[in-house]
Amino acid sequence: MPDGETAAPGQGVGRAFSLRVGILGGGQLGRMTAEAARDLGVEITILEREAGSPAGQIVGPAREIVGDWRNLEARAALAERVDLITLESEFVAADALQWLVDRGTPVYPGPATLRVVQDKLLQKERLSEARLAVPRFKVVRREADLLAAGAELGWPLLLKARRLGYDGHGNATVDGPDATAAAIESLAGSAGRRDGDLDLYVEEFVHFAGEIAVMVTRGRDGSIAAYPVVDTFQQNHICHEVVAPARLPAAVAERARGLAIQAVEAVDAVGVVGVEMFWLDDGTVLLNELAPRPHNSGHYTIEACRTSQFANHLRAVLGWPLGPVELVAPAAAMVNLLGTRSAPANPGGVEEAGSIDRAYLHLYGKRDVRVGRKMGHVTALGDTAEDALARARRAARCIVW
Ligand code: ADP
């Protein structure tokens, strides 16, 4: 019941639907979800290892549980205070989610989805079982598997850790048979060291014309709202810029959108899912990977779409009807603000960036700057992709880290 309201004795005030959502994690994705929750009247409580996290700054100390999701007591403390739980990272162990479900707290996306998606090999297997287009891939348990894959698929190859890869950590390009041992060694931290027991797989190297993404929202009832296809540009394997809508042939965009929806259905996800894809000059579209949560390539939706990815994620996990996803401007561009050196933000730059028409600055409130760390982003709307991108880049350049 809201503060200050009272119910007459015997006149119960029921909860019509869930309004208390817990988030495992308190980074920038949790922060922007909490911002969206405010407008929907949804109360967010987060579980995060350190106090004062980016999301914690939005929900306040009373709704920030400081603890580790690997810890049973911490998970139980969150479950006690919310009607359902969602996440902002795909690295929460599926077993930890199952534990919450077994105790009676619904989790969306559910443990079965996470179990498949958080293991890139199982994810690729699931997608190809569903007859969806993915790069050719092979499991690598030992060095000999990698050599055999090279003979079959050709060099170079992309060797990947099955679990816990992000922003290119966990990937190694293998140029030829002489480079296999070094590539395996470079991933040994995430993949185990024993030949015969490696947690790796390998993909053909895709000579793509471009990288694209679609944010797909899937409701608890299976309803779908798929955002426009966007161009994504990575630097050192980190998403750097996003342009909406993607500049590619309409037939390719349509194929990508359809493929993204089918991929999300194949893993039975609920909530918003970032679907990363490659497109080739011949019009082929291949799935790269799924992220079952709000995603960097969907940040532009805050200003550029009728419903943001964060609002639609909440609507989906709450079982509400999904919001419309159309662009509200002809084009939009997002530029990430990545940490470049250990220096505070330039306050004058914040003001200057704010003065650029139709450019919107988001700073995540991270205390420590590290090189390459996502500190914030800028989205700009424009009449054309070039216009939006120029504006977003100009605003981004004002902020010095
Ligand atoms: P992460 O999970 O770390 O983001 P990805 O597997 O998505 O890693 O790969 C990061 C980047 O590496 C991709 O955005 C793409 O630029 C490149 N990449 C990944 N797989 C392939 C591939 N099979 N062929 C060519 N480039 C690839």
Is the pLDDT reported for residue 1 higher than 80? no
Classify residue 154 as exposed, middle or buried by CB count within 10 Å of its CB (0-12, 13-18, 19+).
Answer: exposed
Q: Is 232 in the pocket of ligand 1 (CB under 6 A)?
A: no
Local confidence band at 4 (pLDDT 50, 70, 90 cut-offs): very low
Determine contact, residues 191/165, Cβ cutoff 8 Å: no
Instruction: Give the pLDDT mean for 326-349.
Output: 84
Instruction: Give CA separation, 36 vs 10, 55, 82, 127, 346, in Å.
Output: 35, 12, 17, 31, 27
Determine contact, residues 283/273, Cβ cutoff 8 Å: no
Q: Is 26 in the pocket of ligand 1 (CB under 6 A)?
A: no
Q: Is 168 in the pocket of ligand 1 (CB under 6 A)?
A: yes
Mutate to test the pocket of ligand 1, among 200, 201, 237, 297 (most ligand atoms within 8 A of CB): 237
From the CA of 169, give the closest atom in ligand 1.
3
Q: Is 143 in the pocket of ligand 1 (CB under 6 A)?
A: no
Instruction: Give the pLDDT mean for 163-178.
Output: 87
| Average pLDDT value for the chain | 92
Give the tokens for residue 374.
Answer: 């996502």
HEC-encoded secondary structure of 318-357: HCCCCCCCCECCCEEEEEEEECCCCCCCCHHHHHHHHCCC
Give the tokens for residue 81.
Answer: 């205070």
Local confidence band at 238 (pLDDT 50, 70, 90 cut-offs): confident
Going from the Cα of 20 to the center of ligand 1, the distance in angstroms, rounded, reads 36
Start-to-end CA distance of the chain, whole Å, equals: 44
Tens-place pLDDT, residues 100-144: 999 999 999 999 999 999 999 999 999 999 999 999 999 999 999
Single pTM value for the model: 0.93
Instruction: Give the pLDDT mean for 336-356.
Output: 79
Determine contact, residues 291/90, Cβ cutoff 8 Å: yes
Local confidence band at 237 (pLDDT 50, 70, 90 cut-offs): confident
pLDDT attached to residue 8: 52
pLDDT attached to residue 86: 98
Local confidence band at 48 (pLDDT 50, 70, 90 cut-offs): very high
Instruction: Give the pLDDT mean for 54-60.
Output: 97
Tens-place pLDDT, residues 200-234: 999 999 999 999 999 999 999 999 999 999 999 99
Local confidence band at 81 (pLDDT 50, 70, 90 cut-offs): very high
Amino acid present at 282? D
Determine contact, residues 143/181, Cβ cutoff 8 Å: yes
Q: Is 165 in the pocket of ligand 1 (CB under 6 A)?
A: yes
Residue whose entry in the numeric block shows the structure tokens 């969306």? 108
Which secondary structure element, helix H or strand E, spans residue 374, and what is its range?
Answer: strand 374-382
pLDDT attached to residue 57: 97
Q: Quick one: fold of 19-117? A: Rossmann fold (3.40.50)
From the CA of 160, give the closest atom in ligand 1.
6
58-67, 165-174, 226-235: least confident range: 165-174
Instruction: Give CA separation, 181 vs 7, 144, 284, in Å.
Output: 70, 10, 32
Superfamily for domain range 210-398: ATP-grasp fold, B domain (3.30.470.20)
Going from the Cα of 292 to the center of ligand 1, the distance in angstroms, rounded, reads 17
pLDDT attached to residue 376: 94
From the CA of 204, give the closest atom in ligand 1.
23
Local confidence band at 193 (pLDDT 50, 70, 90 cut-offs): low
Nearby residues of 35 by Cβ (< 8 Å), 6 or more positions away: 58, 310
pLDDT attached to residue 18: 63
Determine contact, residues 220/320, Cβ cutoff 8 Å: no
Going from the Cα of 160 to the center of ligand 1, the distance in angstroms, rounded, reads 9
pLDDT attached to residue 169: 80
Instruction: Give the pLDDT mean for 334-343.
Output: 82
> What angle separates helix 120-129 from helix 250-266, to the nearest 10 degrees?
110
Instruction: Give the pLDDT mean for 29-45.
Output: 97
pLDDT attached to residue 104: 97
Spatial distance between the Cα atoms of 391 and 395, rounded to a whole number of angstroms: 6
Q: Is 147 in the pocket of ligand 1 (CB under 6 A)?
A: no
Q: Quick one: fold of 136-204? A: Dna Ligase; domain 1 (3.30.1490)
For the chain, the structural domain boundaries read 19-117, 136-204, 210-398
Is the pLDDT reported for residue 2 higher than 60? no
pLDDT attached to residue 166: 74
Local confidence band at 16 (pLDDT 50, 70, 90 cut-offs): low
Alpha-helix residue ranges (DSSP H) falling in 209-346: 250-266, 301-304, 309-318
Nearby residues of 2 by Cβ (< 8 Å), 6 or more positions away: none
pLDDT attached to residue 3: 46
Amino acid present at 374? K
Going from the Cα of 168 to the center of ligand 1, the distance in angstroms, rounded, reads 7
Q: Between residues 350 and 271, which one has the greater pLDDT?
A: 271
